[in-house]
């Protein structure tokens, strides 16, 4: 395990690394060739309809907000198990029996909601791509019609989309036929690390959707070929579950990374009434040896709510981290936004951090947004695309805008919306982007 000191690179030294990846060679662990990313971003936002601007994840992200949709104004009654007492007339019993029957039918309807046909929007989920198939796990779901179903329900299904097929809507069809039993945690704000070699992915991090479900950390992995989940056990080095950090998995080198994130009573058993605390380190997982390690972050600041992506640069690739929040005090006091003019870059081969200042049309501070990277065949340049996110108190308005950060130029360009001022009409947050 290495714990390098924070390092700030000059623009020229970063450009040397960015222009040096054309000859990038990974130590081979693959049975199949490395499939570079497509230049298409798929944003799995929280909605397929116009979203409620007040909607946010059910679980606190540590910043103190639980901006929930309004609760339904009506409440179901619990009918007696036998309807009425012996002295009640038949005429009096009939309405009560009908009420019990209607309640039972409502319960059946609730249980039989179809995650494909009745789906309206989803947020706080985890996604990954393995062999051109997009997998969607956990998070929250709102059902159609949303006016009658404003509650944030748990998405208990493992969903998938074949990216080489399309439906009448022009999008890949959605399926909900994969295995996921009750022993697999229902989480929001975690990550799925892909493993193209072993045809599986690993579920790390995330907050439990229900307070009573919290248990000690255990790494679960989904076996794609056999359609089953496996437990890789708890960490031997005291790793705990973190939520709404920034995660990246790289199949070619067989490693998963997770920077920052919150520890809270929704992630760590026995946390109690203490306020949520963000972390400042980089957690690493080795797929092949099932071992964990950690490195320091770019500095001592605790961060969460940002995003990180991989580019195949240098000797072993680079991780680029953007945005989110800074939890300077770790005591529940208000957090600060991390400026998107400051770009943190992690050199995987040398376990070193670099800091680069970006210019141009710098996006407003935000959290719970998503990013993805693409590059041409000759790897002469790299583009990092940013979409959406949510703001900070006192205004937690969301964003519906798209920016691109070219590398090594490091000058932000706004792509949309260009025809109207501001951040767009339909804000999205707590979504994922897969490129």
What per-residue confidence (pLDDT) applies to 267?
A: 97
What per-residue confidence (pLDDT) applies to 15?
A: 54
Percent of the chain with pLDDT over 70: 74
DSSP reduced 3-state for 15: helix
Torsion of CA 115, 120, 121, 126, to 10 degrees: 10
What per-residue confidence (pLDDT) applies to 389?
A: 97
pLDDT at 41 over 70: no
Task: Find where tokens 């029996």 sit.
Answer: 97
Q: Could you give the CA distance from residue 160 to residue 167 in angstroms, rounded to a whole number?
A: 14
Task: Find where tokens 């995003």 sit.
Answer: 307
What per-residue confidence (pLDDT) applies to 341?
A: 99
Percent of the chain with pLDDT over 90: 64
What per-residue confidence (pLDDT) applies to 47?
A: 38
Highest mean pLDDT among 7-11, 33-37, 47-51, 152-156: 152-156
- Range 204-221 average pLDDT: 92
What per-residue confidence (pLDDT) applies to 17?
A: 56
What per-residue confidence (pLDDT) applies to 166?
A: 94
DSSP reduced 3-state for 11: helix
- More confident site: 91 or 244: 244
DSSP string, 77-113: ----TT-S-TTS-HHHHHHHHHHHHHHHHHHHHHHT-
pLDDT at 173 over 50: yes
CB-CB contact of 255 with 287 (8 Å): yes
pLDDT at 282 over 70: yes
Task: Kindly list the structural domains of the chain, giving each domain's residue range(s) and its CATH number in brackets, ordered by start.
Answer: 11-69+110-434 (2.120.10.80)
Q: Could you give the CA distance from residue 431 to residue 127 in angstroms, rounded to a whole number?
A: 9
385-423 pLDDT per residue, tens: 999 999 988 777 789 999 999 999 999 999 999 877 677
What per-residue confidence (pLDDT) applies to 210?
A: 84
Q: Could you give the CA distance from residue 321 to residue 261 in angstroms, rounded to a whole number?
A: 13
What per-residue confidence (pLDDT) applies to 6?
A: 35
- Range 155-175 average pLDDT: 95
What per-residue confidence (pLDDT) applies to 43?
A: 43
- More confident site: 96 or 228: 228
Confidence grade of residue 340 (pLDDT, cut at 50, 70, 90) = very high
pLDDT at 154 over 60: yes
pLDDT at 239 over 90: yes
- Range 118-126 average pLDDT: 93
Query: What does the mean pLDDT of the chain come to?
Result: 81
What per-residue confidence (pLDDT) applies to 205?
A: 97
What per-residue confidence (pLDDT) applies to 109?
A: 47
Tell me, letter by letter, the H, E, C secondary structure of the chain.
CCCCCCCCCCHHHHHHHHCCHHHCCCCCCCCCCCCCCCCCCEEECCCCCCCCCCCCCCCCCCCCCCCCCCCCCCCCCCCCCCCCCCCCCHHHHHHHHHHHHHHHHHHHHHHCCCCCCCEEEEECCEEEEECCEEEEECCEEEECCCCCCCCCEECCCEEEEECCCCCCCCCCCEECCCCCCCCCCCEEEEEEEEECCCCEEEEEEEEECCHHHCCCCCCEEEECCCCEEEECCCCCCCCCCCECCEEEEECCCCEEEEECCEECCCCCCCCCCCCCEEECEEEEEECCCCEEEEEECCCCCCEECCEEEEECCCCCCEEEEECCEECCCCCCCCCEECCCCEEEEEECCCCEEEEEECEECCCCCCECCEEEEECCCCCCCEEEEEECCEEECCEEEEECCEEEEEECCCEEEEEECCCCCCCCCCCECCCEEEC
* Threshold 0.85, pTM exceeds: no
For 51-65, 182-196, 314-328, which range has the lowest pLDDT when averaged over its residues? Answer: 51-65
pLDDT at 256 over 70: yes
For 30-39, 149-158, 166-175, 413-422, which range has the lowest pLDDT when averaged over its residues? Answer: 30-39
């Amino acid at each position: 395990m290495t714990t390098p000191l924070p390092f700030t690179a000059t623009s020229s030294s970063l450009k040397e690394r960015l222009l040096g990846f054309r000859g990038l060679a990974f130590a081979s662990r693959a049975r199949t060739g490395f499939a570079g990313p497509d230049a298409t971003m798929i944003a799995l936002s929280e909605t397929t309809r116009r979203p409620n601007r007040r909607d946010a994840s059910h679980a606190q992200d540590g910043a103190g907000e639980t901006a929930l949709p309004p609760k339904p104004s009506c409440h179901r009654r619990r009918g007696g198990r036998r309807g009425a007492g012996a002295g009640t007339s038949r005429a009096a019993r009939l309405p009560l029996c009908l009420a019990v029957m209607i309640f039972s039918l409502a319960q059946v309807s609730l249980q039989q909601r179809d995650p494909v046909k009745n789906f309206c929007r989803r947020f706080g989920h985890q996604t990954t791509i393995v062999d051109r198939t997009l997998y969607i796990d956990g998070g929250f779901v709102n059902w159609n019609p949303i006016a009658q179903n404003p509650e944030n329900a748990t998405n208990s299904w493992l969903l998938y989309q074949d990216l080489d097929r399309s439906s009448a809507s022009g999008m890949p069809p959605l399926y909900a036929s994969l295995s996921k039993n009750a022993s697999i945690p229902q989480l929001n704000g975690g990550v799925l690390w892909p493993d193209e070699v072993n045809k599986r992915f690993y579920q790390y991090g995330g907050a439990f959707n229900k307070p009573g479900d919290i248990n000690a950390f255990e790494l679960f992995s989904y076996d794609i070929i056999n359609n089953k989940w496996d437990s890789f056990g708890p960490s031997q080095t005291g790793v705990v579950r973190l939520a709404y950090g920034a995660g990246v998995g790289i199949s070619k080198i067989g490693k998963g990374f997770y920077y920052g994130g919150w520890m809270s009573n929704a992630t760590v058993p026995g946390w109690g009434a203490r306020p949520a605390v963000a972390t400042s380190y980089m957690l690493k997982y080795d797929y092949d040896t099932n071992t964990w390690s950690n490195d320091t972050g770019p500095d001592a600041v605790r961060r969460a709510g940002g995003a990180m992506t991989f580019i195949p640069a240098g000797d072993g690739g680079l991780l680029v981290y953007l945005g989110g929040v800074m939890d300077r005090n770790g005591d529940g006091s208000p957090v600060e936004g991390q400026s998107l003019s400051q770009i943190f870059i992690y050199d995987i081969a040398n376990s070193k951090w670099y800091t680069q200042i970006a210019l141009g049309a710098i996006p407003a501070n935000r959290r719970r947004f998503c990013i993805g990277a693409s590059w041409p065949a000759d790897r002469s340049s790299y583009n990092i695309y940013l979409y959406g996110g949510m703001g900070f108190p006192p205004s937690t308005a969301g964003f519906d805008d798209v920016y691109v950060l070219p590398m090594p130029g490091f000058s932000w360009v706004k792509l949309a919306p260009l025809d109207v001022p501001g951040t767009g009409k339909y804000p999205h947050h707590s979504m994922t982007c897969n490129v």
